[in-house]
Structure 1
Amino acid sequence: MLAAIYNSVILQLPIGTPNPDDNKPLDFTDPFEVIVIIIMPILAFLFYIIWRKKRKNRK
């Protein structure tokens, strides 16, 4: 039953919409992808830790 529902939802994917099968592998020779995939998440995590410590010390 669930397989039939799942298949009917997947089969109704409009043409031209992003699909997981359309993904290409990451190209780490491109500086933009290195910055977006690796550096920005690390910086966001570090800024969150710093922000949380400052907020905790204020109280």
Structure 2
Amino acid sequence: MKNTINILLMQLPIGTPSPDNNSPIDFSDPFNIIVFIILPIVAVVLYFYWKKTKHRDNE
């Protein structure tokens, strides 16, 4: 079992972020709110708007 864990750990290159050293997203920072909440919502809305206008152009 220990040998398997060592083999798996050797697969991660040095300097690559791993789930062990990541911190949770801090939503008290306005930048994180914009990047992780507002921009994805805007991207989805714009995608559906684009698909709707593309569908109208085809008719």
TM bin (shorter chain): 0.7 to 0.9
Letter of the 2:13 partner, please give it: P
**Partner of residue 23, structure 2:** 24
- SS of the equivalent of 1:17 reads coil
TM-score w.r.t. structure 1 length?
0.79
Q: Partners in 2 of 1:11 and 1:24 — Cα distance?
A: 20
Instruction: Report deviation, 1:28.
Output: 0.8
Q: Partners in 2 of 1:14 and 1:54 — Cα distance?
A: 45
Unaligned runs of 5+ in 1: none
Alignment RMSD (CA, Å): 1.7
- SS of the equivalent of 1:11 reads helix
Cα distance change of structure 1 residues 7 and 52 upon mapping to structure 2, 3 Å threshold: farther
Q: State the identity %.
A: 50
Deviating above 3 A after TM superposition, structure 1's stretches of 4 or more consecutive aligned residues are none
Aligned length: 54
TM-score w.r.t. structure 2 length?
0.79
Instruction: Report deviation, 1:52.
Output: 0.1
